[in-house]
Amino acid sequence: MDRLCWLSVCFFSLWSSWPGSVSAEDLPLRFVWQKTIQRGSIEFYGLELDGKGKGKFSFKKREEDLVELDFQINPSKVESLRSSFVHADFLNETKNFVSPRKVADMGQKTIGFKSGIREREVTFNYTEDRTLQEIVDFFENLCQQEKSLFEMNLALKYDRLGIPKKLDELERNLTAKRIVDPERFAPVLEKICQDESLMNLARTEAKKILSKIEKMQSVAN
């Protein structure tokens, strides 16, 4: 437990020191998500995100080093997230998001949101607020997206036989709408498509998924 507390302190120290000017004119945005888990292979997830879609993703497996990755998502996704925070009235300090119900340990979650000079941070295990739960789902999906992307790039370098499994996982998550920004996968899918040393099965599946992502984006636009 001491190690989890240490991770929390380090993560939010990093957030508080993240560079960025505060201006009343453009109201810079900052989002933070953290989740510590008592059971399972993953011990910690963390996200930092600014209003332009630039962020940092962190995760830690038990008994392994912390992994930190930079990422960039479409600003339209950030605007959707900001709207959810506004709808939830998150910055209203009088609004309590922590459920008093006794439920199983679902992981200790901390959400931070800063808009201009106003900011708030909430820590909870479970919430009954539907909008805040939608925000939780967004962060959970974004974490899973970036972890999957990291593992797919890793498989392309060191575990090429495992690529079909990673592609199947991506296909399922796309179908279930658990990917926040599908375009993030386009570069690695193109690499797989063009790599003639890979199995035809993997290359064919990558082309199929890439085509699906392109269609999804054309509909969204």
Domain boundaries, the chain: 2-127
Element (H, E) at 23: none
Element (H, E) at 77: helix 75-88
Fold exhibited by the domain 2-127: Mago nashi protein (3.30.1560)
pLDDT on residue 6: 54
DSSP SS3 for 64:
coil
Residue 116 is which amino acid?
G
pLDDT on residue 105: 87
pLDDT on residue 218: 79
**DSSP code, position 53:** S
E runs forming strands in the chain? 29-36, 42-50, 54-61, 67-72, 108-115, 118-124
- pLDDT truncated to tens, each residue of the chain (221 aa)? 455 555 554 555 544 444 444 443 467 999 999 999 998 899 999 999 999 999 999 999 999 999 999 999 999 999 999 999 999 999 999 999 999 988 888 899 999 999 999 999 999 999 999 999 999 999 999 999 999 999 999 999 999 999 999 999 999 999 999 999 999 999 999 999 999 999 999 999 999 999 999 988 877 76
Residue 83 is which amino acid?
S
CA distance 176 to 181: 13
Q: Are 71 and 59 in contact (CB under 8 A)?
A: no
pLDDT on residue 173: 96
Q: Which of 9, 6, 33, 55 is nearest to 123 (CA)?
A: 33
